[in-house]
Chains A and B, each alone.
Chain A
Amino acid sequence: MDNPYLWPLTMLVFFPAAASLVVLLLPRDSQELIKRVSLFVTALVFIATVVMALPGFTGGAHFSLAEDAVAQMQSVFQVSWIPSFNIQYFMGLDGISFPLLVLTSFVGMLAMGASWPITKHVKAYCVLFLLLETGMLGVFLALDFFLFYVFWEVMLLPMYFLIGVWGGPRREYAAIKFFLYTLLGSVLMLIAILMLYFNSDIRALSDEQLIAAHVVPDQPAALAWRAEKVAAADLPSHTFNILALQQLGQHTDQFSKSAFTESGKSIQWWAFVLLFIGFVIKVPSVPVHTWLPDAHVEAPTPISMILAGVLLKMGGYGIIRICYPICPEAAYDLAWVVCFIGVLSMVYGAFAALAQKDFKRMVAYSSVSHMGYVVLGLGVWSAVSPSFNGDYWKMGMNGAMFQMIAHGISSAGMFFLVGVIYDRVHHRELDKFGGLFAKMPVYSGMAMLIFFAGLGLPGLCGFIGEVLVVLSVWNFSIVLAVVSAFVVILTAAYILWALQRVYLGAEYKGPHPEALTPITPREWSIAVPLCIFAIVLGVYPQALFNYMSPSVDQTVDALIQWQERQVAEDVAGKKKGGEKQAVTIDERKLPKPGQQSFRVPPIAPSASWSPSRVTPDPSYPAIQESAVEKNNPIALNRGT
């Protein structure tokens, strides 16, 4: 197979790692040189990610941003890597991963620029930083599950050391907590990956599906491929190909078998739960979020920027790229759980932020709250039979994706700005600030802007994502919508209160008042790009949506098509099977409520979701009711 993108993408991902070897050779004492080389490397990576999308530079082959092209997976290459396990070196980009890739390289560059105050073991710091960047870039590009997992884990080690060596007073505790949580999540993920792998058989896919999954390039190749498979043996052909697994999850019932016992939950139900826990630890959402405040607070400023700006996005990316498309049945089944977790994180994070006395800790909890929007937006599966209107879900998913990018900018900015004053006065207690506006006017102006962006002020980037998510939830559940809208007030409360205590007021009340000098050009040049992006994305969100929505919409459409097929099959099965079918449905119905309520006691999913669905839209009561009625068989079909 011809792979024009093999070297460009490989070089993009491994360039920082290769550069780290060069940095290793530099003399240990020339700190300035080491930092400059590293900054140069990260800047080159950023330029490369941007240039990739421009025609002309690379001479034809480039990542196209045209609307019809961006919906598809582009710049794909695949090379057989470990044939014994069908593992491929397989990467590609689409409208979901491309913005995140650019965000990664952008935040990476700014964070490297923010690393100048680091003076301890500079060489080791830069080497680890560059290795970390390779891991982050790889996660967003990998389309092979094994490769994805490797990159996912590669980030762990540098991050552990970056927090543990260069962090604050409780760095060791924070570092190991971060490590342990993420490792636990990724072990669960590994189990799910292996479950999916051993239950997959790509021979079941049609030619079009094989082409869509990039297993084969075109129709003749598909025929040849099939002939080869038939000749080989009667053994199933397992795969780690994420796109192929998506096709299998949506078009076959390979993942719908019971996993452990005869009548228990299906494979995809377990895979979804395991993967979701793994990703949600990274996001992080409320029951498993406790590593985040510690890690963010103890990490040095640039690493906090990376953590908040990029690492958290990987959780959301995993959910949209892996959880939902591969396990649609389970995702539909557990939509309420996902949304509930999202809303819980939003509320809990906001209240926790309100209670913080430490400036950085407050920002950290605001991340928990803001990432709750992402989980909520991804989870609002509001399309129902018979209209299967997926517009609101698309809105929610687009909002979630936008929120990821926006939060990447605003939270990286907030952590950087907190770092700026921490470098000066060496404390972060909210109550011991005040009056910074008078002493550092430029800085305070930018801080106001970034914090307002975080707050979700219209006209700034935080607003778009939040409003889209909250609007989309209305169609899913009115209760969750009301609660999530209410969180906006809490957000305003903790951010405004913090701004008031830190920047406003008559005079500075804390130690080292003499150190409060205006920001340096270096700091200025890091904050300004963030401010610009915050404004641009707020005023002209289409700049992002144009490239992102086609892919997001396609993901949603594929899932809704799956849902339609499922309903159609079910109706057909009902007509055909008559009484027999009814009996089986009845049998399936029995174990369901108990198992469901075991997972999330406060909500009995199918019971409470139909009335809430009926009430919000009084103009179509008949349709809604019939939708619920027709939908119920599927809802009862879960886990078979």
Chain B
Amino acid sequence: MNYEQLVQSVIGDTASSLEKFLPELVICGTILLMLLSRLFKLTRQMIPSWLLAGAGVACAFAIAEPWKFLSAGATLERTEIFTGMLVHDAFTVYFRAVLLFTTLLFIMLARISRLADQENGPDFYTLVLGAALGMCLMAEANHLLIVFLAVEMASLPSYTLAGILKGNRQSSEASMKYAVYGAGAAGVMLYGTSLIAGITGSAHLPTIAWRLAEGMGTDYQLVLVLSGLMMLVGLAFKLSAVPFHFWCPDVFEGASAEVAGFLSVASKAAALALLVRLTIGFAVPPANEPIPFAAGEVAAPASLASEVLNQSQASRRPVAHVRSVADSVDAQNKPAEMIRVSQIRTFLSWVIGVLAAVTCTFGNLAAYGQTNIKRLLAYSTIAHAGYMMMPIAAGLAIMTENPVAASEAFAALLLYVLIYVFMNMGAFGIIAFIRNAVGGEQISDYAGLVRSSPGWVVCFSAILFSLIGLPPLAGFMGKLVIFASLVDAGMYWLLFIGGVNTAISLFYYLKVVRVMTFDPGPEDRSPPRLRLVSVPGVFTMLMTAPILLLIIQWNGLYQWAETACRTVLGN
């Protein structure tokens, strides 16, 4: 293939890719608009930045059309876009929708609680959109290069967001810690990425899976394992999984509650999506050998690229990429491949399962001694990261025998993530509003709150009980589907740990509820009177309503999650 043809096919590919990438493009455009509008005094005063940011995200969400792609009958083919750098399937659509929705909630929350003022508002919201863009890319990554870029793109704005409270020492410290930790983890991850790319000779995830299944790199098993673990370090950092969780409580304590909420939900959701992508990238080889871009058919509009297509198809075989184990893959080699693949799956399942168990248990135990509500919830998010990794382990464990059950396990994760959005955005929102009213974030500041603001206490208690996973609250449905996936996969040891953890977690969530309801209010000041009929009150109720009402009908949500996972394995 000559240079001209390459350019032609890239143009064709890009044109078709841009269409599928439109929501992200809208975010990019909004960022540019916000930067521009801040240059001129008139626009700066006329258009508040939160409105611009909110409108941009809402637009992107509308363009993403999750309801169209995730409805019961819809089947969205898995397509690789941008020469195989990104992948567009129902899983992408689901996570993009969740992330954009969370960003929208966060922008509303930040506006309501007046986190960013007129002066630093544009900076703040630009950073938020930048982080959201990076997180969306994490969920779509199909190439190790993009994996690294997306993680960095999501992280860098987060570092700044954590330190957005200018002049606040704690906030600056949080930002600093976050950045240093993040840099270290990113470095390790990059190293792991380069190792695996070096061994398999590709950074394209399906190609890597294919070559690993073919037995490439069997001589370097130690290096392979090492690279896998190193990449896991980067992800564990984003997930705040033990033992890479140390930044989490400090950052959450220092950062404002709103930012902590955003980090705990969006950043974690993106990291989980990426974890799923990577595990599938290593453990699920595609049915047919992936054809590298420009060597095979390109999803290009016919008008532009039909000629190119014909030529490239004709010349496919000769240009086939370098493969050490040659073309001798036929039926009799399949069993060996399957054994290799199932070994990889078992290994990953155990690593992730153990990580989940340790993370969950540690988070729940460490939360018990906390006196600061944000620190407490930080440990709670660590524990929840553990819960959310469990279905991934279960899915990997059962993938070989029962791919349908595996995709159901991933669907459990997706449902949990969605429920978690409401729980944590609600919880951190309430913390922010109470901080505005009381001026404190110690648990003792909440004493006797039930006397003055009963409605708020009911909402907050519902959210906390939902985090424990008590029916009939939404958190229970999440726990149920996760535990169900564990039983289905036969991972009873992990199920047992999850169950015991549920009981342990009761203590510290109840501690907050107890302080709010049983303890008498402080004597030196009257407890704050927060009204439910107010903008913060409405936000709180909007977050609590799904938690209370989801029990009535959650089949639809689960079906979305299931649809989203159906194509993720099925290539």
Are B470 and A191 in touch, CB under 8 angstroms? no
Stretch at the interface among A150-158, A412-420, A518-526, A577-585: A150-158
Closest to A82 in B: B555
- The answer to the question of A497 belonging to the interface, with a C-beta cut-off of 8 Å to chain B, is no
Known interface pairs A84-B562, A176-B510, A235-B404; A187-B502 also in contact (CB < 8 Å): yes
> Is A164 located at the chain interface by the 8 A CB criterion?
yes
Q: Known: A187-B499, A191-B495, A197-B484. Contact between A81 and B470, CB under 8 A?
A: no
Complex CA–CA separation, A154 to B495 (angstroms): 22
**Does residue A260 face the partner (Cβ distance < 8 Å to B)?**
yes
Chain B at the A interface: mostly helix, strand, loop or mixed?
Answer: helix
Residue of A nearest to B479 (CB): A190
**Contacts known (A84-B555, A165-B517); A157 close to B495, Cβ less than 8 A:** no
Whether B555 pairs with A81 at a CB distance below 8 angstroms is yes
Instruction: Count A-B contacts at CB 8 Å.
Output: 79
Contact A154 B472 (CB under 8 A): yes
A195 within 8 A of B: yes
Stretch at the interface among A178-186, A217-225, A536-544, A590-598: A178-186
Taking a contact as CB atoms under 8 Å apart, the answer to whether A157 and B454 are in contact is: no
Report how far A117 CA is from B422 CA in the complex, Å: 40
Question: CB distance B499 to A190 under 8 Å?
Answer: yes
Q: Residue B470 contacts which of A84, A157, A164, A172 (CB distance < 8 angstroms)?
A: A157
**A156 to B468 Cα, complex, angstroms:** 13
Q: For residue B301, which residues in chain A have a CB less than 8 angstroms away from its CB? A: none
Chain B positions within 8 Å of A85 at CB level? 484, 558
Chain B residue at minimal CB-CB distance from A154: B472
B67 within 8 A of A: no
Across-interface contacts of B471 in A (CB, < 8 A)? 149-150, 153-154
In the complex, which residues of chain B have a beta carbon less than 8 angstroms from the beta carbon of A198? 484, 487-488
- Chain B CB within 8 A of A161 CB: yes
Asked, given contacts A164-B514, A164-B517, whether A191 binds B488 with beta carbons under 8 Å apart, the answer is: no
Q: Please name the residue on chain B nearest to A176 by beta carbon.
A: B510
In the complex, chain B residues whose CB is within 8 Å of the CB of A180: 503, 506-507
Q: How far is the CA of A156 from the CA of B506 in the complex (A)?
A: 12
Q: How far is the CA of A259 from the CA of B490 in the complex (A)?
A: 9
- The reply to whether B506 and A179 form a contact with Cβ atoms under 8 Å apart is yes
Query: Could you say which of A82, A150, A165, A184 contacts B472, with CB atoms under 8 Å apart?
Result: A150
Q: How far is the CB of B397 from chain A (nearest CB, A)?
A: 14
Question: 8 Å CB contacts to B: which residues of A186-206?
Answer: 187-188, 190-191, 194-195, 197-198
Complex CA gap A81/B470 in Å reads 19
A453 to chain B, nearest CB (A): 36
Residue B492 CB within 8 A of the other chain: yes
**Contact: A183 with B510, CB < 8 Å?**
no
Measured between alpha carbons, how far is A146 from B502 in the docked complex, in Å? 18
Query: Is A602 an interface residue, CB under 8 A from the partner?
Result: no
Q: Smallest CB-CB separation from A185: which chain B residue?
A: B503
**B358-408 contacts to A (CB < 8 Å):** 404
CB pair B483–A190 under 8 Å, yes or no, is yes
Asked whether any CB of chain B lies closer than 8 Å to the CB of A83, the reply is: yes
Binary flags per residue of A229-253, CB closer than 8 Å to B gives 1, else 0: 0000001000000000000000000
A191 to chain B, nearest CB (A): 6
Which chain B residue has the least Cβ–Cβ distance from A135? B472
A105-122 interface code vs B (CB 8 A; 1 in, 0 out): 000000000000000000
Residue A558 at the chain B interface, CB threshold 8 Å: no
Contacting residues, chain A, for B518 (C-beta < 8 A):
164-165, 171-172
With contact pairs A81-B555, A176-B510 given, residues A191 and B487 touching in the complex (Cβ less than 8 Å): yes
Residues from chain A with Cβ under 8 Å of B506 in the complex: 179-180, 183
**Contacts A83-B555, A164-B518, A198-B487 given; does A190 touch B510 at CB 8 Å:** no
**Any chain B CB within 8 A of the CB of A448?**
no
Q: How far is the CA of A599 from the CA of B562 in the complex (A)?
A: 42
- Tell me, in angstroms, the Cα distance from A180 to B502 when the chains sit together: 10
User: Contact at B555–A194, with CB atoms within 8 Å?
Assistant: no
Nearest CB in chain B to that of A164: its residue:
B518
A81: which B residues are within 8 A, CB to CB? 553, 555
Contacts of B559 in A (CB 8 A): 84
Ranked nearest first, the 8 interchain pairs of A and B with the lowest CB-CB distance are A194-B487, A187-B499, A150-B471, A153-B471, A82-B555, A84-B558, A184-B503, A198-B487
User: Which residues of A come within 8 Å of B, CB atoms?
Assistant: 81-85, 124, 146, 149-150, 153-154, 156-157, 160-161, 164-165, 171-172, 176, 179-180, 183-184, 187-188, 190-191, 194-195, 197-198, 235, 259-260
By a beta-carbon cutoff of 8 Å, the part of chain B in contact with chain A is: 404, 454, 465, 470-472, 476, 480, 483-484, 487-488, 492, 495-496, 499-500, 502-503, 506-507, 510, 514, 517-518, 551, 553-555, 558-559, 562
23 contacts between A and B (CB under 8 A): A82-B553, A82-B555, A82-B558, A84-B555, A84-B558, A84-B559, A85-B484, A124-B454, A150-B476, A153-B470, A153-B471, A153-B476, A156-B470, A161-B517, A165-B518, A172-B514, A179-B510, A180-B506, A183-B502, A187-B502, A191-B495, A194-B484, A260-B492
